[in-house]
Amino acid sequence: MRVLHTVTLHSPTHAFGGPVRVALNLSRGLRERGHEARLVALGDGFGGRLPTEVEGVPARLFQARRMLPLGFSGITSPALVAAAGRLVREADLVHVHLARDLVTLPVALAALRAGKPLVLQTHGMVDPSDRLLAKVLDALAVRRVLRRASAVLYLTDHERRGLEAVAPTGPGNPLHLVRLVNGVPAQEAGPTPSGPPRVLYAARLQARKRPQDFVAAVPEILRHHPDAEFVVAGPDEGELASVQALISSLGLGERVHCPGSLSAGEMLAELQHAHVYVLPSVDEPFPMSVLEALAAGTPAVVTHSNGLARDIAGTGAGRVVGGAAELAAGVLELLDPGANEAASAAARKLAAEAFSMDAVLDTLIGVYEGCASGVTRAPRRSSRKT
């Protein structure tokens, strides 16, 4: 099967975060099973010729152009929009990682015009909004593609309810919703981290991710582990200056390092060296960075509103905290050698049993086959709580 995956933006800094990682993981997995998966996206920050392959996945990247001062919603490529019809006609099925933007929406609309099976995956990016641009895009295109898609993949019940609110439908005409969790490739067990305790944050430096909460917890951790090291990694989305100012004001310049964005290989290396991974973000649907930490056997500290909180708490794969005031306590618990060893084993087991790429691909290929054969799928509810 020829599958076209479309996501908004790929860049060396991984600025678009989790949706790109999901698209690449799925594409690689499909290719390993004999399918012809390709990636289409905007490209930016490469300083020259755009790559034609990303992590082993053939890619058609178009240079990003900023049309409006609206973050990712304001970037597009006239060349991509012009080529969308040809790109979708070359595929048997189109899988769009949908956002309210001028990249994924044109490709989804082109797939509908071409009569191609269309699978949408929104990663929590399409939810009820009072913003004017969101209302305009919903009226012009979003509701149409959601209602006409062969399948709409969702992560959590919260995301499902949001999609149903954005595109309400009448009785007997539901959205074709299918739950698909994010998967993570298995990682071979590495050596137990040695040396001073190392605590890692690796996500976009964005207000919702709360990197400042991570830095604010450092002094209390140092009070118990004065030799501990801390890493704040990720592309800047407005919080780097504040993070650096807080590090300076707390006198932590020798303890907290900010290496910037990490490649996939660098991310894995950091996780393998870290004793604890911390993501203080709020209302995080299903973070890939936490899944990658679990697969690497690195216990995670997350907040209650994280989509993986119940899994982590229920299996002991880390600690779930109420907010910034409890971050240090959660990390300190996991820096106990016995607790860390037990949580590391639980993290690997959770990743392998609940979020393996094999299980995700089995579900996804079943969805694809149903869409390609024209079988209409009724909305499915997962028995697993989220």
List pLDDT tens digits, range 319-353: 999 989 999 999 999 999 999 999 999 999 999 99
Q: Using the predicted structure, report yes or no on whether residue 362 has a pLDDT greater than 70.
A: yes
Tell me if 378 is assigned to some domain.
no
SS (H, E, C) 50-74: CCCEECCEEEEEEECEECCCCHHHH
Tell me if 307 is assigned to some domain.
yes
Q: How far apart are CA 138 and CA 167, in angstroms?
A: 8
Q: How many CB atoms lie within 10 A of CB 256?
A: 22
- 232 or 156: which leads in pLDDT: 232
**pLDDT at residue 242 in the model:** 97
Tell me if 382 is assigned to some domain.
no
193: helix, strand or coil: coil
**pLDDT at residue 375 in the model:** 57
Q: In this structure, are 72 and 115 located in the same domain?
A: yes
Tell me if 377 is assigned to some domain.
no
Tell me if 219 is assigned to some domain.
yes
Could you list the residue range(s) of the whole structural domain that residue 224 is in?
A: 198-354
Q: In this structure, are 152 and 29 located in the same domain?
A: yes
Tell me if 112 is assigned to some domain.
yes
Tell me if 384 is assigned to some domain.
no
What CATH code is carried by the domain that includes residue 153?
3.40.50.2000
What element of type H or E holds 26? helix 18-32
- DSSP letter (8 states) at residue 142: I
What would the two tokens of residue 19 be? 């949706």
**Phi and psi dihedrals of 320, rounded to 5?**
-115, 125
List pLDDT tens digits, range 198-216: 999 999 999 999 999 999 9
Q: 307 falls in which pLDDT band (50, 70, 90)?
A: confident
Q: How many CB atoms lie within 10 A of CB 143?
A: 15
Q: Which amino acid is at 94?
A: V
List pLDDT tens digits, range 149-196: 999 999 888 899 999 999 998 776 679 999 998 888 877 777 788 889
Q: In this structure, are 208 and 304 located in the same domain?
A: yes
Q: In this structure, are 124 and 211 located in the same domain?
A: no
**pLDDT at residue 383 in the model:** 38
List pLDDT tens digits, range 32-71: 999 999 999 999 988 878 999 999 999 999 999 887 767 7
Q: How many CB atoms lie within 10 A of CB 265?
A: 9
Tell me if 163 is assigned to some domain.
yes
